[in-house]
Amino acid sequence: MEQTLSIVKPDGVKKRVIGEVMVKFEKAGLKIAALKMLKLTKENAKKFYIVHKDKPFYNSLTDFMSEGPIVVMIVEGENAISRVRDIMGATNPKNAAPGTIRSDFASDIEHNIVHGSDSQASASYEIPFFFPSLEIM
Ligand code: UDP
Ligand code: MG
């Protein structure tokens, strides 16, 4: 059993696909173990994406991630980290396999609807970033 952190990004909330994202996870047999909506400050977004601090897209990405509400969730199941990544599809929606979240809903490489932890190390940073243990079912 594994837990991973997923986010419906501001573009996903605006496009009203919060439910569609959760349907894809739940239909795959994964369970939502925690869930809430919030708005990141620019500073919070920079902290969350600190691993990308030296990337050319860091400033633009953290502007985007703090521009509107997001839905954060913990998704749980066997191999949840890699399975959520598979269900999300490639970072660039142009390369995302048909039926993945990003293929179905994303407009470009930055505005790509959804986040998912990419490893156990990042899940261990990202889960407590948003959820105290009392909020995890
Ligand atoms: N991103 C971007 N330009 C790029 C690569 C990534 O704007 O060239 C954004 C995009 O929103 C992506 C996020 O930065 O989801 C984090 O990048 P990462 O490489 O970790 O992709 P992910 O793990 O989200 O697929
Ligand atoms: Mg990533």
Alpha helices in the chain (DSSP H): 10-14, 18-27, 42-48, 58-65, 80-88, 101-105, 120-130
Q: Is 122 in the pocket of ligand 1 (CB under 6 A)?
A: no
Q: What's the pLDDT at 69?
A: 99
pTM of the model: 0.98
106 alpha carbon, closest ligand: 1
DSSP 97: P
Q: Is 117 in the pocket of ligand 1 (CB under 6 A)?
A: no
Catalytic residue numbers? 115
84-94 confidence digits (pLDDT tens): 999 999 999 99
Q: What's the pLDDT at 71?
A: 99
CA 106 to the chain's CA centroid: 13
Q: Is 101 in the pocket of ligand 1 (CB under 6 A)?
A: no
38-84 confidence digits (pLDDT tens): 999 999 999 999 999 999 999 999 999 999 999 999 999 999 999 99
How many angstroms does the Cα of residue 133 sit away from the middle of ligand 2?
23
